Copies of this chain bind each other. A is one copy, B any other.
Amino acid sequence: MHSNQRSVGRPMVEASQAVLDHYPSRNGNVSCFIDRIDPVVYTRRHGADADMPGSNGPLNQSTLDDYERDGFVILDDVFTEDEVALFQTELDVLRASPDIQRCDAVIREPGSDDVRSIFRVHAISALFQKLSVDNRLAGSAQQLLGDQVYIHQSRLNFKPGFRGKEFYWHSDFETWHVEDGMPAMRALSMSVTLAENSALNGPLLLIPGSHKSYLSCEGATPEKNFRTSLKQQVYGVPNDEALAQLVDAGGIVAATGKPGSVIIFDCNTMHGSNGNITPYLRSNIFFVYNAMSNRVVAPFCEHAPRPEYICTRENIRPIAGLSKR
């Protein structure tokens, strides 16, 4: 499939710890595709394996199949207008709060003071804590990952109108693996949209099928990379040739839809977004669920782990009370 890019089987590099590094990146080698050794959907059939967490989750078989094939699904009308209005109000309150404004967990747009993201919202807002354990989200995560789950990261994202900046193509897993020490591909993201996403206001762009290969990136990881990478990613960035191969094979899908939609995408799905000069702002709530069996270890690079607000390490708690576990 990826003919021009050197492809290797499974270079298991021993890290400075007991866990083997199946997915080395930024280790001084040239960029290459590495075969994914992890499943995509861990609960293979809806209703099967009744003892497995999530075996009777909210997603139907057709959705599981789409997710397995493409590395993402876009679900319309998951949340009602009233629910979206509640989330929007809470978001406005948080964004205006002086306490939040001063906090480390707030990321601003490059070249302006506009708030781009507020991290760890499941810990600072009772409403978003409740949302993070809602069966529509956490139950689906448990179903796809076939395990109890916890929140690896959560955030509110704002993409302002007029001057919204692009976010370049990346696989989240590449960063979570290298900088956070996430061992395997057993995690996913859920984005709850709070505004209309059209093709023109910088929607999430995804490359179908890109989750099936791991793109090991060139370069190294600078210390405290997260201080700039959350604004504009420079390291762990795929090269043009590799991206063109992925797009040739799978194309690009824009996650457009009404507020209250949920986009679920695998931790290794290549995604990004264009800038936004339209007056239409975008915002969403973002949860990353990780399998309890896939808890982070020491990072697969020589630097200290990223802060707790970006990567849950100390406060790992499985989400309880989900149906049928």
Give A residues with C-beta under 8 Å from B: 161-162, 166, 168-169, 199-200, 202, 205, 240, 243-244, 247, 252, 254, 272-279
Contact = CB atoms under 8 A, between A and B. Distances in A.
A161 B275 CA distance: 14
A279 B168 contact: no
A202 B279 CA distance: 16
A279 B247 contact: yes
Contacts of A240: 161-162, 279
B274 A202 contact: yes
A168 B199 CA distance: 17
Contacts of A277: 166, 168-169, 205, 272-274
Contacts of A243: 162, 279
Contacts of A166: 275, 277
B276 A200 contact: no
Contacts of A278: 205, 247, 252, 274
Copies per complex? 2
A161 B200 CA distance: 17
A168 B277 CA distance: 7
Nearest 6 A/B pairs, CB to CB: A199-B199, A275-B275, A244-B279, A166-B275, A274-B274, A247-B279
Given A169-B277, A200-B205, 5 more contacts: A162-B240, A162-B243, A199-B199, A200-B254, A202-B274
23 contacts: A161-B240, A161-B244, A162-B240, A162-B243, A166-B277, A168-B277, A169-B277, A199-B199, A199-B254, A200-B205, A200-B254, A200-B274, A202-B274, A205-B277, A240-B279, A244-B279, A247-B279, A252-B278, A273-B277, A274-B276, A274-B277, A274-B278, A275-B275
A202 B276 CA distance: 10
Candidate in A166, A276, A277 with the most chain B CB atoms within 10 angstroms: A277
A234 to B, nearest CB: 13
A243 B252 CA distance: 30
Contacts of A272: 277
Nearest to A276: B274
Contacts of A162: 240, 243
Contacts of A205: 200, 277-278
A103 to B, nearest CB: 27
A285 B291 CA distance: 53
A301 B294 CA distance: 65
Contacts of A276: 274
A108 B37 CA distance: 43
Contacts of A244: 161, 279
